[in-house]
Amino acid sequence: MASGTLYKGREGMWSWVAHRITGVAVFFFLFVHVLDTALVRVSPDAYDRVIASYKTPLVNLMEVGLVGAVLYHALNGIRLILVDFWSKGPKYQRQMVWVISVIWLVVMIPGFYFMTKHTFEQMFGA
Amino acid sequence: MSHNQTPSALLAPRSARSGRSNYELYSWMFMRISGIILVFLVLGHLLIMNILDGGVQRINFGFVAGRWSSPFWQVWDLLQLWLAMIHGGNGLRTIINDYAERDSTRLILKSLLYVAVVFTILLGTLVIFTFDPNIA
């Protein structure tokens, strides 16, 4: 495609790509998550055993990824609503990508600390 | 529909829509309304379950039993389940429509999707309503 397109390869396109990828990832996790929670109808032991896997270092790190994906999808979803319904939304759609990126980082840095605190203590000692 | 055909809306862009349903409009509106509600429900859920007060390390059967003894969290989780599954199912429907080019592929993928969505919603709803804290 000729250069000078406003959309392709820029913030608008990449935020759209990331919205799809995070949406699909969260959907598949949700499916698994309803299945693992359903084990509370089997027995306390069956539930506790599957939840124990959520507390291991590797899965704990994947939970940070899950929270990051949900947070991005939520922030970009708010941006999409503003593009659709706020009169100045389309004009500022590109700037809003940078605004949500900053908010994402500001939330994820302390979020990462609190989510992985126990894992790091366990692996490298208190 | 073949992909080589020009959609009728492009051939006559100002023409009135004839006899078609407003399904896609309602779908578009649903994504925005459910999305706003889910921002609060899901981010609240993740904050409580993964970040506050020890996060995932403190979750076990007793923790779930304590939460679901309150109708507030039962309604929260039920609403979250239904809205998230329909929102996600509708998102995947859009993605299948965009990328699966053959009619038969689309039909198979969407059938699988709808079965998975209905199954997950029914299972989750059943679990919330029939939860027994004294199960042996």
Q: Domain extents for chain A? A: 11-124
Taking CA atoms, A116 is separated from A81, B24, B28, in Å, by 32, 42, 37
Q: Identity (one letter) of the amino acid at A108?
A: M
pLDDT value of residue A103: 97
List of chain A residues with pLDDT < 70: 1-7, 126
pLDDT value of residue A125: 77
pLDDT value of residue A36: 96
The pLDDT confidence band at residue B30, using thresholds 50, 70 and 90, is: very high
The pLDDT confidence band at residue B54, using thresholds 50, 70 and 90, is: confident
Statement: residue B17 has pLDDT above 60: yes
Angle at A16 between CA A13 and CA A19, to 5 degrees: 155
pLDDT value of residue B1: 46
Mutate to test the interface with B, among A26, A27, A43, A115 (most CBs of B within 10 A): A27
* Higher-pLDDT residue of B86, B11: B86
Q: Which residues of A touch B49 (CB under 8 A)?
A: none
Domain limits of chain B?
A: 22-130
The residue whose two tokens read 């940070």 is: A64
Give the contacts of A68 (CB within 8 A, at least 6 positions apart): A104, A108
Q: Identity (one letter) of the amino acid at A63?
A: E
Query: Closest to B51 (Cβ–Cβ): which among A38, A41, A111?
Result: A111
The DSSP annotation for A13-58 comes to: HHHHHHHHHHHHHHHHHHHHHHHHHGGGGT-HHHHHHHHHHHTSHH
pLDDT value of residue A6: 61
- Pick from B24, B40, B84: which is nearest to A34 by CA? B84
CATH number for region A11-124 = 1.20.1300.10
Q: Report yes or no: A24 at the B interface, CB cutoff 8 Å.
A: yes
Statement: residue B121 has pLDDT above 70: yes
* Higher-pLDDT residue of B18, A91: A91
Query: Closest to B95 (Cβ–Cβ): which among A20, A41, A115?
Result: A20
CATH architecture, domain B22-130 = Up-down Bundle (1.20)
Cα R_g (chain A), whole angstroms: 19
Residue pair B56/B50 in contact by the 8 Å Cβ criterion: yes
Question: Percent of chain B beyond pLDDT 90?
Answer: 77
